[in-house]
Structure 1
Amino acid sequence: MDRRKFLKGSALLSGLFTISPLELWSSKRNTEQLHSGSAKNIIFMVSDGMSLGTLSMADLYSRNILGKGSNWLNLYHDQKVSRALMDTASASSIVTDSAAASSAFGGGIRVKNGVLNMGANGEKHLPIWQKFKKAGKKAGCVTTVTITHATPAGFCVNSAQRNAEPQIAEMYAELELDVLMGGGDEFFNPEKREDKKDLYAVYRKKGYQVLKERNHLKDIKKGEKIIGVFSTGALPYSIDRTSLPDFKNTPTLAEMAKTAIDQMKDHPGGFVLQVEGGKVDWSAHANDVAALIHDQLAFDEAVKTVMDFAEKDGNTLVIITTDHGNANPGTIYGTDATKKFNSISDYKYTNEYILNQIHKDFSVKDIKDWIYEGNQLALNDDEAKHLLSFYNGLEKEEGLYNYKKLPFKLYSDIQKNRNSVGWISMDHSGDYVEVAVYGPGSQLLKPFIKNTDLHDLMLKASPL
């Protein structure tokens, strides 16, 4: 027998038995306190439109290509969170849109698709961030789409139309939310608004610091309310932000989340914050696998940022979920499935960027050369000709957020033969989704819930 190992083991056992029962009980009590009691802060994280396949593929890509598990799945491996499946239905359909889904979280009731916290007879249900704001907490939202989009708006305002984004921008100013960051310059800029109102001036008059670039995050004055609007429309996809110089001065979701937390964390009354990875949904609508995986991984980095704070703080409830599935992507069985899936790491750009660079004057060879440069995919002549037919007006494709009628579906079908990823549609799905909850109040989570239950959980975890 190795005497050194025996002595080492004896020392460890001896140390264990010198711990008093009081110390053991105290350690257990500290662990229990983390998951019970009242939460001073709440951070609600939404990877918009994230089917379970999206979560799975992002973790698979992270392990295979980046050499580490995803932060979200690591929370499961390390048993740090309570976990549930959630029914995402709205009042009008088993398949919700983001407005009704966010209203379930924000207003605590199921409403019809397309509206924000408005009942069937026009009754208004007070959104949860307003409730907490009135109770003395600071409140904020950060997102990778327009800050006035349905998911942040569902925690903040009442509106009969989710698309009333110019008006929602004005509502935010009246509410004086403490942190707002995302895209949507067209809803604040007088040169882009139809009514020519200068909402930036309105916000400045109310004491807001206005941020327009990533660099501005370094110059924030402590304690001031902030509004950061970093693009017209949504922020760029994460993979394009990494690859294209024009987007380098756009902040990541993790950077915005950290900024928001740092700005509000010292408030005596605590804070509430929504963090949305909005372009996960948009990439699923486009069946764009590179955009999807990289934006999900960007959301995953925000998960790390939030959890780093919450674990150190000890008084923060963290909810990590999605509002609904979208397109249900997944890996497909077949020869060399792993190798094919891993080839996604060769993709330099989103499909949106690649397809936007093609025009009707391209030859078949031009298309083949460009696709190979962007995705390392070798197209045959028939595939290149089929793509070109969309630019010559012979075919066209519809789809949400497909403003230029680009051939997203055709191109994703071409990619599927090379990367072993398939999709069931280009729209939302009614499948049950993942929920992970950490911190004070996490013990309230039941194994199967409705989306409205998360509204109730927040109010129970942090009573008004």
Structure 2
Amino acid sequence: MNRRKFLKGSTVITGFFALNPSVIVSNNLETMSKKDKKTKNIIFLISDGMSSGTLQMANLYARNILGKNGNWIGLYTENKVSRALMDTASASSSVTDSAAASSSFGGGHRVKNGVLNVGPNGERYLPIWQKFKNEGKKAGCVTTVSITHATPAGFCVNSDRRSAENEIAEMYADIGLDVMLGGGDDFFNASKRADRKDIYKTYEEKGYQILKQKSDLKKIKKGKKTLGVFASGALPYSIDRANIEDLQQTPTLADMSTAAIEQLKDHEEGFVLLIEAGKVDWAAHANDIAALIHDQLAFDEAVKIAIDFAKKDKETLVIITTDHGNANPGLIYGADATEKFNSIAEYKYTNEYILNSIHSDFNQKQIKDWIYETNKINLTDEEAAHLLNFYSGIEKQESGLYNYKKLPFKAYSEIQKKHNNIGWISMDHSGDYVELAAFGPGSELLKPFVQNIDLHYLMLEAASKSKI
């Protein structure tokens, strides 16, 4: 279908195209950009699992503790972006997982939870980064979790299983993605794969440079395809990296985003880049407020990097959103709500690090001392005993997504709640509408309320592609 010819022949277009679901359009291509500029580059930023309360609390922390407004909220207060609410449902549920959510952006179709760009009858929907690669653009992904994880994969590949990360690592090499930065050594390293395949060697044979340390980002050879894998699985949480010396050799999301843009920006045909704060989602699953706020703030720094580049470049569309909500955290009413919230500034580490450092041979004094040292919280004897029961086997160990060591995340977050006034509705994804912002040429295509699949077509329209 020649969408350019179709659009030019229309004076007013509303509703949906019969051949493409939920297509966002302007009256004609000539009015697509307020400054009549074509979108050459697209930077798509996702704070995975970010409920609106996460955005609000990170901004409140930035204002109260850091003395500045957040970058994302600053775009709202300065009226510099188009803004919308987005429905994140999948084909199989009102509550999506990350694979189906990313596939909505990537393939333009809602699919079942757990799959990547695969329809109910096995249809393979061509992922959008492949579409842009076919048109001559460079394409890349940056994430704080495994580069083979569901969100980057949804922009790039087709798979019946989001968990097929060994295969996804190989698919990326076949596609020839230009920049891939994140974690996931487990899926590339021959010594860690069950099949003993050396996937790094595969990439090297295809001309890729391989990065393993933060310092390697300063040694990137310009114009050469790049694979950077900086951790066995996910990268560390931001607050732990800041306070644990052994973790400081891993790059931040801002470090990787800067390097990726620098590597892609001079390509004549432009580039597309996904930037994901994947561990915001993991923090929400754990009801871990320190992890959540500091990784959201790290995402906010990546937002600034993208916006600063787009302001200077003037041909870059920046999309800022999440794929779904998670746990719906929020600050609860109370006489001392602000003071209690501000006490989070005393937290030195994630709950994951704090709880993983407690052992079954701890006594009540040791656990009290440890919690005060790390959170400035004075546990009662009853609270200390309750936590210790999870380690002695008296209390049933907690489960939950990404809780590999069965740590008492929920129990501890309930204790913290008394001191910080932060409440959580669950430890899992939610079906709430989420925030969405767009900046740059093509942002005027954004309507006030959209479905997740609409962004696939918005990107294609913004880049003035003639076919879908």
After TM superposition, the score normalised by the length of structure 1 is 0.93
2:253 — aligned with what?
Answer: 253
Unpaired runs of 5+ in structure 2? 1-31
**CA–CA separation in structure 2 for the residues paired with 1:304 and 1:295:** 14
Kindly provide the amino acid, as one letter, of the partner of residue 440 in structure 1. Answer: P
**CA–CA separation in structure 2 for the residues paired with 1:235 and 1:249:** 11
- Is the Cα–Cα contact under 8 Å of residues 340 and 419 in structure 1 kept in the other structure? yes
Deviations 1:126-180 (A, max 9, x none): 0000000010000000000000000000000000000000000000010110000
Shift >2 Å, 4+ stretches = 32-37
1:370 — aligned with what?
Answer: 370
- The within-5 A match list for 1:122-133 is 122-133=122-133
1:10 — aligned with what?
Answer: none
Aligned CA distance change for structure 1 residues 166 and 369 (closer, same or farther; 3 Å): same
1:452 — aligned with what?
Answer: 453
Kindly provide the amino acid, as one letter, of the partner of residue 289 in structure 1. Answer: I
Is the aligned partner of 1:113 residue 2:92?
A: no
- The within-5 A match list for 1:176-325 is 176-325=176-325
- The within-5 A match list for 1:36-75 is 36-75=36-75
**CA–CA separation in structure 2 for the residues paired with 1:188 and 1:143:** 16
Kindly provide the amino acid, as one letter, of the partner of residue 194 in structure 1. Answer: A
**CA–CA separation in structure 2 for the residues paired with 1:303 and 1:162:** 27
Kindly provide the amino acid, as one letter, of the partner of residue 239 in structure 2. Answer: I
**CA–CA separation in structure 1 for the residues paired with 2:167 and 2:389:** 40
- Is the Cα–Cα contact under 8 Å of residues 33 and 444 in structure 2 kept in the other structure? no
Alpha-carbon shift at residue 35 of structure 1 (Å): 5.9
SS in 2 for 1:290: helix
**CA–CA separation in structure 2 for the residues paired with 1:410 and 1:434:** 30
Kindly provide the amino acid, as one letter, of the partner of residue 297 in structure 1. Answer: L
- The within-5 A match list for 1:373-412 is 373-394=373-394, 395-412=396-413
Kindly provide the amino acid, as one letter, of the partner of residue 433 in structure 1. Answer: V
1:139 — aligned with what?
Answer: 139
**CA–CA separation in structure 1 for the residues paired with 2:367 and 2:383:** 10
Unpaired runs of 5+ in structure 1? 1-31
**CA–CA separation in structure 2 for the residues paired with 1:63 and 1:133:** 41
Alpha-carbon shift at residue 373 of structure 1 (Å): 0.5
Deviations 1:276-298 (A, max 9, x none): 00000000000000000000000
- Is the Cα–Cα contact under 8 Å of residues 35 and 438 in structure 1 kept in the other structure? no
**CA–CA separation in structure 1 for the residues paired with 2:33 and 2:233:** 43
- Is the Cα–Cα contact under 8 Å of residues 138 and 272 in structure 1 kept in the other structure? yes
SS in 2 for 1:436: strand
Q: Aligned residues: percent identity?
A: 70
1:91 — aligned with what?
Answer: 91
1:6 — aligned with what?
Answer: none
Kindly provide the amino acid, as one letter, of the partner of residue 396 in structure 1. Answer: Q
**CA–CA separation in structure 2 for the residues paired with 1:46 and 1:427:** 18
Alpha-carbon shift at residue 33 of structure 1 (Å): 5.2
Alpha-carbon shift at residue 438 of structure 1 (Å): 0.6
Deviations 1:249-280 (A, max 9, x none): 11110110110000010000000000000000
- Is the Cα–Cα contact under 8 Å of residues 34 and 314 in structure 1 kept in the other structure? no
* Aligned alpha-carbon RMSD (Å): 1.1
SS in 2 for 1:174: helix
**CA–CA separation in structure 1 for the residues paired with 2:90 and 2:452:** 9
**CA–CA separation in structure 2 for the residues paired with 1:354 and 1:164:** 31
Q: How many residues in Structure 1 have an aligned counterpart in Structure 2?
A: 434
2:338 — aligned with what?
Answer: 338
Alpha-carbon shift at residue 393 of structure 1 (Å): 1.4
2:154 — aligned with what?
Answer: 154
**CA–CA separation in structure 1 for the residues paired with 2:369 and 2:454:** 51
User: Could you say which structure has the larger radius of gyration?
Assistant: 1
- Is the Cα–Cα contact under 8 Å of residues 35 and 442 in structure 1 kept in the other structure? no
Of 141-150 and 35-44, deviating more is 35-44
Alpha-carbon shift at residue 36 of structure 1 (Å): 4.9
Deviations 1:378-434 (A, max 9, x none): 001110111011111122111000011000000000000000100000000000000
1:427 — aligned with what?
Answer: 428
**CA–CA separation in structure 2 for the residues paired with 1:429 and 1:406:** 22
Alpha-carbon shift at residue 38 of structure 1 (Å): 1.8
Of 387-396 and 53-62, deviating more is 387-396
Kindly provide the amino acid, as one letter, of the partner of residue 125 in structure 1. Answer: Y
After TM superposition, the score normalised by the length of structure 2 is 0.92
Alpha-carbon shift at residue 463 of structure 1 (Å): 2.7
Kindly provide the amino acid, as one letter, of the partner of residue 431 in structure 1. Answer: D
- Is the Cα–Cα contact under 8 Å of residues 182 and 229 in structure 1 kept in the other structure? yes
Aligned CA distance change for structure 1 residues 352 and 81 (closer, same or farther; 3 Å): same
